[in-house]
Structure 1
Amino acid sequence: MTTPQDELLPGTRRALLHRIAVAQSEGRAPSLVAAVVRDGRTVWHGARTSVDGHGPDENTQYRIGSITKTFTAVLVLRLRDAGLLDLGDPLEKHLPGTGVGEAAIVDLLAHTGGLAAESPAPWWERTPGTLRPELSDVLGERPLVHPVGRRFHYSNPGYTLLGALVEKLRGAPWEEVLRREVLEPLGLHRTSARPQAPHAGGWAVHPWADVLLPEPAEDLGRMAPAGQLWSTTGDLARFAAFLAKGDDRVLGAASLHEMRTPAAPPEALDVATGYAYCLGLELRRMDGRLLVGHTGSLPGFLACLTFSPDDDVAAVVLANCTQGPLVSTVGAELVGIVAEAEPRIPEPWRPLREVDPAVLELAGQWYWGTQGVALRGTADGLVSLEPLSGTGRRSRFRANGDGTWTGLEGYYAGEVLRAVRRPDGTVSHLDLGSFVFTRQPYEETAPVPGGVDAEGWRGVG
């Protein structure tokens, strides 16, 4: 339930309704439902349907396809955080005999394990899971089609293996673990492995005529961790808020930030289109906005969950047709409508309660060669290094407790920043992965690699 300060302006609400109305009409979807989340709260829900008087609401289930993978990835990160595995572990260490060799758990999460995209015929999405009772039936005789870790190749069997890993280490079925560890703590009571009324039926729309054909709703069996779930806009809105902020009962903010950090080696096409895959989450850049989430499809259904961390706005779009509206585009545009019409109001600036004297000593302007950079202490207890010119390498650093800091992102991720002191205790320079940062460009008294010309700076004469 929204409070007055959560509500969107009438113009924004109409723009959202107009966007999904166009999507349902032009996409020829029997029905389409959507929700928008801002600041962790659902602030709008809309629906369009071809059936008069039967508009679906936020509690109507739709099948969400591969958004299921994000739920499975959360379960795997929980195993890591509990100390039961390392993401770099070969799957064989915990689940022997699969035949995927050296593929690591992180490779499966990021679709870089080299596995085939699909299970052997017949097509798993339109046939019962009983046809594939064992992992060997899902993987087939040739499970690997690429070298491990060399390229991104989306793999549904890879997430089947991750589901089996969860079952092995938790000693319970994937569905039961998911309900106990994620769905119940987050209050996702309308998310389930099998449809629960009220739910939408899945339809195929004839490409050249306005007629429908019902699609089968198969139980995917072993393939369930890759695409089985049914959910609602209400539940997925709450799940989007969790993915943005974290919930220590399920997964903390640091692990969720790791989930949305690109992990797969980019293909040239991916770089051009602004797409990257992370750990159970997709990263897209659309209209200059960075969006995180996942899409999903199964015969009869299309789904999208997407959010902008910078704008703190998320959108969910669900439709019950095999092909129709481009739900990823619709979701991105719903986020954009709210973010642009009602920009996020920043939190008030507040000074720190405590300050690290070492940070104050190092704060200010430094030079790597002739490039000026600024070191700043941030309100969240980190330090940032950023170019003064607005271009160049930048990163935030976390204190290690011993007077050093470790880079969190970009070129300096994992690199250690330390202040090197003179015998009298004053700071000589900063060392960052062998780079020397000095208070003046090519400072004569600092150990600049290669030395500094004894005659110093000069004009041309």
Structure 2
Amino acid sequence: MIDPVQNPEHHPELATGTLRALTRRLAVDQRNGRVPSLMAGLVRDGKTVWTGARGRVEDAEPTLETQYRVGSITKTFIAVLIMRLRDEGLLRLADTVDQHITGTPFGDRTIAALLAHAGGLTAEPPGPWWERTPGTDWDELAVKFDDSTAPHRSGRRHHYSNLGFGVLGEIVARLRGQDWFTVTTREILEPLALTRTTARPEAPYARGWAVHPWADILLPEPEHDGVAMGPAGQLWSTVPDMLRWATFLGGDSAEVLHPDTIAEMADPVVVQNGDEWRVGQGLGLQLARHQGRRLVGHGGSMPGFLSTVWMDVTEQTGVVFLANATSGVGGALPVGLLDILAEHEPRIPGEWRPATTTPDAALLALTGEWYWGTAAFVLRLLPDGLLDLSPMRGGGRASRFRAEGDHWIGLDGYYAGEPLRVVSDADGTVNHLNLNTFIFTRKPYDPAAPIPGDVDPAGWAGHTRY
């Protein structure tokens, strides 16, 4: 791979100092972690801005074509397949396992709970450690299930479950009538041109190694087909493919999934540390907060391999790292690379430009001050045709709305999914906004509007009435 420090023209978007800082961080982690080879990359606004590599694969420097096993990042692909089935109406997230696979001791657990690792299933399937032994098909795996495979009631806690994603992969296979990887290839890999993402390694690829804890010697790790457990960690991929996957998770989803569905997957279902959460889980996506950023993605590990993909959706900046070692490097590396990029090359926002089209006069007339009781709000018209309703001062309930037929629907915040209707008088004059029974008026408690509970006919007064 071309050294970006010695050849800065390979990454003209970044300054030489930034390239050196990124390369040094990669070199430090590879050396201190004693990792045979390590690759990483950064993407911003859909464009790769840096890639780097350290170490050797079969006595040669890895290239952008070199595959590594990405382990549990596979789960994000399975989650996307499940959400596609949901969007097509072929399943609901509230469906139980029993509605698609009968005869398991966890048939009452929902698909949503499995996606969020909140279904109470064991971390690993019964039998020998699946990551280091040849896989079996679903029927051979399922006969080993008993009550011990679901030790927690659904929703009690976040309990990471590889088994849960084996179940989800089987649901995909049954609803599509093909194995999970064939479906992944057709519905995700081909549309996104992820040509170097495969179920088994295809040359050139890195061999997985275990590094002796007290000596600088290596032991090869086994590689096999996980079969029924493949959906939990089977895939192999490259830095370029994983950077494209990062932009997908950031909303650049082509025709594979609606951006609203990706945003739904990134909503926290379970979190650690309550309001101050740092780590959480969405629908098949891991979530993290770091230095004011909110990251979505997933980590991966299999014998001989470590990986991570993170995307900062707000900044449209993503990071990937791939390594061929069982241990030695962790989550500090990818966020550290993001920190270097943010410090040395802060993202410059795009310039403001006026709208290219003039909005409908009636829509423009809705903008400005509105009141819910005595709480002041501002309704703004956004460049993408959405409405933004936010408190005039300080924090509070804020949401964006998208037009749907004769009303608007909340996209996020407190009013997500709630209908907003513009109510007019007989002469066409707008009287109030009805936000799922909340009445917003042009002045506080406007008596001309149908305020629930009515408005005192004596009106506003000073302290003499107190």
TM value normalised by structure 2:
0.90
> Against the structure 1 CA distance between its residues 72 and 135, is the aligned structure 2 distance closer, same or farther, given a 3 Å change threshold?
same
Identify unmatched segments of 5+ residues in structure 1: none
The answer on whether the counterparts of 2:398 and 2:414 sit within 8 Å (CA) in structure 1 is yes
Q: Deviations over 1:224-263 (max 9, x none)?
A: 001011111121112222222334442232322222222x
The answer on whether the counterparts of 1:291 and 1:308 sit within 8 Å (CA) in structure 2 is yes
Deviation for aligned residue 1:397: 1.0
Asked if 1:420 is matched to 2:423, the reply is yes
Deviation for aligned residue 1:140: 4.3
Asked if 1:411 is matched to 2:417, the reply is no
The answer on whether the counterparts of 1:132 and 1:138 sit within 8 Å (CA) in structure 2 is no
Q: Whole-Å Cα distance in 1 between the matches of residues 354 and 10 of structure 2?
A: 26
> Against the structure 1 CA distance between its residues 127 and 133, is the aligned structure 2 distance closer, same or farther, given a 3 Å change threshold?
farther
Amino acid at match of 1:226: A
Q: Whole-Å Cα distance in 1 between the matches of residues 72 and 156 of structure 2?
A: 23
Asked if 1:179 is matched to 2:182, the reply is no
Q: Deviations over 1:149-202 (max 9, x none)?
A: 443322111111111111111111212222222222222221111112222122
Q: Which residue pairs with 2:257 in the alignment?
A: 251
Deviation for aligned residue 1:5: 9.5
Asked if 1:371 is matched to 2:381, the reply is no
The answer on whether the counterparts of 1:384 and 1:395 sit within 8 Å (CA) in structure 2 is yes
Q: CA RMSD in A?
A: 2.7
Q: Which residue pairs with 1:199 in the alignment?
A: 205
The answer on whether the counterparts of 2:249 and 2:296 sit within 8 Å (CA) in structure 1 is no
Match of 1:104 among 103, 110, 132: 110
Deviation for aligned residue 1:308: 0.9
The answer on whether the counterparts of 1:270 and 1:276 sit within 8 Å (CA) in structure 2 is no
Amino acid at match of 1:266: V
Q: Whole-Å Cα distance in 2 between the matches of residues 336 and 59 of structure 1?
A: 26
Q: Whole-Å Cα distance in 2 between the matches of residues 289 and 376 of structure 1?
A: 26
Match of 2:290 among 262, 265, 286: 286
Q: How does 1:153-164 map to 2 (within 5 A)?
A: 153-164=159-170
Match of 1:116 among 106, 110, 122: 122
Match of 2:135 among 121, 124, 129: 129
Q: Which residue pairs with 2:271 in the alignment?
A: 266
Deviation for aligned residue 1:361: 2.3
Secondary structure class of the residue paired with 1:142 = helix
Q: Whole-Å Cα distance in 2 between the matches of residues 64 and 57 of structure 1?
A: 16
Amino acid at match of 2:205: H
Q: Deviations over 1:5-27 (max 9, x none)?
A: 97222222222112212221222
The answer on whether the counterparts of 2:270 and 2:282 sit within 8 Å (CA) in structure 1 is no
Deviation for aligned residue 1:431: 2.3
> Against the structure 1 CA distance between its residues 3 and 424, is the aligned structure 2 distance closer, same or farther, given a 3 Å change threshold?
farther
Amino acid at match of 1:290: R
> Against the structure 1 CA distance between its residues 61 and 409, is the aligned structure 2 distance closer, same or farther, given a 3 Å change threshold?
same
Count residues in correspondence: 457
Q: Which residue pairs with 2:84 in the alignment?
A: 78
Q: Whole-Å Cα distance in 1 between the matches of residues 409 and 92 of structure 2?
A: 20
TM value normalised by structure 1:
0.90
Deviation for aligned residue 1:366: 1.4
Q: Whole-Å Cα distance in 2 between the matches of residues 270 and 319 of structure 1?
A: 32
> Against the structure 1 CA distance between its residues 7 and 137, is the aligned structure 2 distance closer, same or farther, given a 3 Å change threshold?
farther
Deviation for aligned residue 1:206: 3.1
